[in-house]
Each structure stands twice: as C-alpha cells, then as structure tokens.
C-alpha cells in the first residue's frame, strides 16, 4: 500500500467533535499518516457553548515550521480547516511553500460559516484572507454559505443549476482550481455535493436526512482527504465522504437533543475502513 503523510492545520476544540479531534482519527482510519499542527486550543467549539476558553498558538507556528525544515520533514498533502486569524492564514500560506513535497496536494476547507452566517468571531477581513488562501489551494471544500461570503454572490436557500454555476465561476475567478461544493440541494428529497474539476461539473446526489448536525463539514473534509490520499479520484473521494458523513448523521439524529454539539462519527469508523479498502 502506498503510505502517505498528511499535515492538517486547525484548532483543537477539546470537546465538540470537530476540527482536529475529527481529522486525526478519520484520516488515520483511512490508513494515512496524520501529522497535526494545532492552531489554537479551545475548551469547546464556538457553535453553541458559551464561556469557552481560547488559547491562540499562532506564535508557536514559525518555530514548528523551522524545526520541520531543519529535520527535512515534508508532507504529501496539507489539509486546513478552522483557522483563528488572518495572521494564522498567512503562516499557513508560508507552510504551503516550505513543507510540502513536489506534487503535494493542498486542500482547504474554509471552515468559517454555515446557514448564511459567519461563525462567531470572524469578519470581512478574515473572509478576504481565506479567499486568498483558497485561491492558492489545489482543492477547496466550501459549503454554499462560505462560497457566497468569499465571492460576494448573494446567499440563497432555494436555487437552480444556474445559481450554482454562478458560484462556481466566481470561485474560479477568485483563483480556485478544483471545487467540492457541499450541501447542494435541488429538490426536497435529495441533496449532494458538486465536484468542479478541469472545468467539468459533476454531482453526487444522495438522500436528504430530516436534520443536520454540527461538525459535519469537518467529518466530510477529513474523509475526503483520507480517501484522496488513498488514491481515490476527486469524484470518488467526494462521494465516499458524502456516504460516510450521511451514515454519521443517521447514527446521531435519534439522540440529537442530547448530542447536539457534534456527530457520532466514531460509531461508523468500521464502515469507513471497509469503504476505503474496497
Ligand atoms: O469547523 C467547525 C469548527 C471548528 N472549530 C471551532 C469551531 C467550529 C464551528 O463552530 O467553533 C473552534
């Protein structure tokens, strides 16, 4: 088996099933070495808890990068999720240039917004910086809200293919290369992900569940990264990640009142391992 090493940069929310506590187990379960660079430590994520702690680790990043350079440590891919500041985004851009092997893939999930709103603490300067980072990445994994914030396209909850095409062309104008646009819904029964690669649109459509959960974007982008590193095509990795995320949501929904803060992705890891090794 081809053994790949991915670096993922995002926060650690100690409790809340998102960012690194999701990326590390999911990418590892895919059979891929997963190095982490925690950008900050929070007691919980910011989506529904109050009074959480926040330790910014930005100042530690340059020394970590320098040490890796001294040791000759490089990565086959870089996958970024939630980042805490524009300064952190600049540092991630630098790491893209110094710590990756030739031909390494860069995957950016601009984790900063959902359902038409920015997450707590983000502003238009952050959106601009994230759009610049997305312009440098090989693959971006935004939801419709994030895509709209970065491109200035009006956010809509009901739309047609022409609206999605407008978002895609605006992302390409911004500098994006391959786009995986999540949560694209054209009718009441189904939803899916759009894969836009080499100017070609494809759509992986699947059933729509009666509710959503916090943290599904992180589960999705992590499974996508793991599958891509295991040699799946972009479309097949996007489809596998959708199937896995759906399974995780299905396992969580019956208990959503108590378990409102994340998805029970651990319960579906055996299925993820089978899907990856098929
Ligand atoms: O990508 C989700 C996420 C990650 N990290 C932190 C968050 C959130 C979403 O709310 O608050 C700290």
Relative to the CA of 47, which ligand 1 atom is closest?
Answer: 10
User: Beta partners for 193?
Assistant: 204
Q: Assess whether the C-beta atom of 217 lies below 6 angstroms from ligand 1.
A: yes
pLDDT tier for residue 77 given thresholds of 50, 70 and 90: very high
Sign of CA dihedral 233, 231, 93, 9: positive
C-alpha span between 135 and 266 (Å, rounded): 33
pLDDT tier for residue 81 given thresholds of 50, 70 and 90: very high
The overall average pLDDT reported for the chain is 97
Relative to the CA of 40, which ligand 1 atom is closest?
Answer: 12
Query: What contacts 207, CB < 8 A, 6 or more positions away?
Result: 189, 190, 191, 246
Nearest 10 degrees: CA dihedral of 160, 165, 167, 172? 170
Once rounded to an integer, what is the mean pLDDT over residues 139-151? 98
Which domains, and CATH codes, for the chain? 5-273 (3.40.1190.20)
C-alpha span between 206 and 193 (Å, rounded): 9
Relative to the CA of 19, which ligand 1 atom is closest?
Answer: 4
Total residue count of the chain as it appears in this document: 278
Q: Assess whether the C-beta atom of 52 lies below 6 angstroms from ligand 1.
A: no
Query: pLDDT value at position 2?
Result: 81
Relative to the CA of 44, which ligand 1 atom is closest?
Answer: 12
Which residue minimizes the CA distance to atom 10 of ligand 1? 47
Once rounded to an integer, what is the mean pLDDT over residues 257-266? 97
Query: pLDDT value at position 88?
Result: 97
Smallest Cα–Cα separation from 246: which of 198, 196, 182?
Answer: 182
| DSSP code for 40 | E
For the stretch 103-117, pLDDT in tens is 999 999 999 999 999
For the stretch 189-214, pLDDT in tens is 999 999 999 999 999 999 999 888 99
The torsion angles phi and psi of 112, rounded to 5 degrees, stand at -150, -5
Cα(248) to ligand 1 centroid in Å equals 18
Nearest 10 degrees: CA dihedral of 25, 273, 241, 255? -70
C-alpha span between 224 and 239 (Å, rounded): 8
**Residue 35 contacts residue 7 (beta carbons within 8 Å):** yes
Query: pLDDT value at position 1?
Result: 66
Query: What contacts 50, CB < 8 A, 6 or more positions away?
Result: none
Q: Assess whether the C-beta atom of 262 lies below 6 angstroms from ligand 1.
A: no
Once rounded to an integer, what is the mean pLDDT over residues 69-90? 97
């Amino acid at each position: 088996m081809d053994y790949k090493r991915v670096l993922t940069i995002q926060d650690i929310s100690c409790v809340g099933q998102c960012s690194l506590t999701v990326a590390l187990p999911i990418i590892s379960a895919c059979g891929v070495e997963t190095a982490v660079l925690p950008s900050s430590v929070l007691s919980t994520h910011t989506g529904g808890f109050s009074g959480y702690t926040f330790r910014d680790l930005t100042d530690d990043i340059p020394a970590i990068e320098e040490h890796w350079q001294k040791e000759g440590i490089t990565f086959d891919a870089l996958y970024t999720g939630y980042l805490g500041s524009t300064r952190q985004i600049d540092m991630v851009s630098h790491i893209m240039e110094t710590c990756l092997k030739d031909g390494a893939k860069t995957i950016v999930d601009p984790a900063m917004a959902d359902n038409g709103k920015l997450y707590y603490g983000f502003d238009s300067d952050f959106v601009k910086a994230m759009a610049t980072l997305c312009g440098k990445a090989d693959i971006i994994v935004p939801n419709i809200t994030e895509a709209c914030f970065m491109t200035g396209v009006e956010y809509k909850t009901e739309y047609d293919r022409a609206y999605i095409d407008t978002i895609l062309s605006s992302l390409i104008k911004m500098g994006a290369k391959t786009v995986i646009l999540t949560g694209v819904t054209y009718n009441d029964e189904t939803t899916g992900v759009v894969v836009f690669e080499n100017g070609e649109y494809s759509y992986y459509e699947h059933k729509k569940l009666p509710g959503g959960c916090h943290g599904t974007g992180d589960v999705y982008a992590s499974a996508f990264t793991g599958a891509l590193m295991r040699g799946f095509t972009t479309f097949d990795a996007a489809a596998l990640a959708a199937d896995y995320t759906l399974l995780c949501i299905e396992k969580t929904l019956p208990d959503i009142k108590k378990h409102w803060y994340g998805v029970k992705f651990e319960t579906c890891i055996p299925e993820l391992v089978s899907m990856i090794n098929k």
